Amino acid sequence: MSAPVKVTVNGRTVEVPAGTLVTDAARAAEIHVPIFCSHAKLPPLGACRICVVEVGTPRLGPDRKPVLGPDGQPEIVWMPKVQTGCTTPVSDGMHVRTRTEVATAARKGVMEFLLVNHPLDCPVCDEGGECQLQDLAFAFGHDYSRMDEAKRTFDSEDLGPIVKKEANRCIVCMRCVRYCDEVMGENALTAHQRGVFTEISSFDRQPLACEQCGNCVEVCPVGALTALPYRFKARPWDLRQHITICEWCSNGCSVRLGVRGMEILRARGTEYRGVNQEYLCVRGRFGHEFVNAADRPRPYCQVARIGKRWSNVFGPSMCISARADGLMVVRTNPCRSGSGSSSLSVAPLRSTSFGLNCWVYRNDCDTRRLSRM
């Protein structure tokens, strides 16, 4: 493990491992530095430039030791221009300033350029309410635009049945492309054209058919990539968040469900939780619609435990109860075949730490499976 170094961020000194990035050191000092392109699982890039800060290091004398000032503290030599915090590693004795006039003015200039071609369609954008660009535009943006020229525009595009691309909102942070390539290993997205005409899309604009499709939507900091099944359905403040386990396989992936009323509207990964660590396959992310489907088969019964007794009501025609001698009694009314006779079946009552086991019982007309609920 690297030896710790001392870094001072806005007058607050913290110890971090050597090689830590300035943005991570600021986070350790509980100081917020805005980011777009940076991601904990991706190497540094510095594409968005919104994380610019002032950086200074101690002045070194001929003996390669810090030169002390009149106050006994090392003299700090500040770099002539602001630096990107997400690509600059810290060094021992480094000083960082994030809230000075120079850093704030540079950040406002970056934000103005990011909004030059942005459509400013927040009222109809699915990312509204949880958009990083929206939040930072309020913090560092101007209340007017100095650009009178027509905006550069792209056409909307469906990248398959589940991903909607709105390239006009894209700030070309390259998060989605890099995450798809370096983390998911799908290599499904790329940057078309160059310069102001750069557009993120799939190779040859083919529909996405990735096993991990949808993770690019989650890492997008703006509304450039959104989920088609969730499109125009709700706002983040309309949803109750429930962390649970994905139901599609035995991996036990952690998933965060957005629920409104009794309907599941979307599923997202949970950062730093579970075996999946925020990754979700396409089934876990978009396969939740079966829960509220009208044609979904309903369970035959629901089991309730009252004291030491298991009871169940199977519609109006059947009752299941537990006898004191450990037997399960199934009583039915006249069966559906119309014979008019009643039946009685007795089976051993077995229980587990999770409740009642699954049972198979038989009466005069039918054989069904009682599923543990």
Chain segment 206-216, per-residue pLDDT in tens: 888 888 888 99
List, for residues 300-309, the tens digit of each pLDDT value. Answer: 444 444 444 4
- Is residue 290 within 8 Å of residue 284, measured between CB atoms? no
SS3 274: coil
Query: Residues of CATH 2.20.25.90 domain(s) within the chain?
Result: 236-292
Residue that has been written with the tokens 């089976």 in this structure: 347
Which region holds residue 183: left if phi is over 0, alpha if psi is between -120 and 50, else beta?
alpha
Q: Give CA separation, 72 vs 66, 68, 75, 93, in Å.
A: 11, 5, 9, 14
Query: Residues of CATH 3.30.70.20 domain(s) within the chain?
Result: 122-131+147-230
Question: 122-131+147-230 in CATH: which number?
Answer: 3.30.70.20
Which tokens in the block code for residue 331? 């009583």
Closest C-alpha to 222, from 176, 184, 158, 157: 176
Band the pLDDT of 338: cuts 50, 70, 90: very low
Beta-bridge partner residues of 258: 241, 266
Question: 4-113 in CATH: which number?
Answer: 3.10.20.740
Fold observed for domain 236-292: N-terminal domain of TfIIb (2.20.25)
pTM: 0.74
- Is residue 254 within 8 Å of residue 279, measured between CB atoms? no
Query: Residues of CATH 3.10.20.740 domain(s) within the chain?
Result: 4-113
Q: Give CA separation, 131 vs 123, 125, 191, 327, 362, in Å.
A: 12, 9, 22, 58, 57
pLDDT attached to residue 304: 44
Band the pLDDT of 350: cuts 50, 70, 90: very low
Q: Which residue has the higher pLDDT, 60 or 349?
A: 60
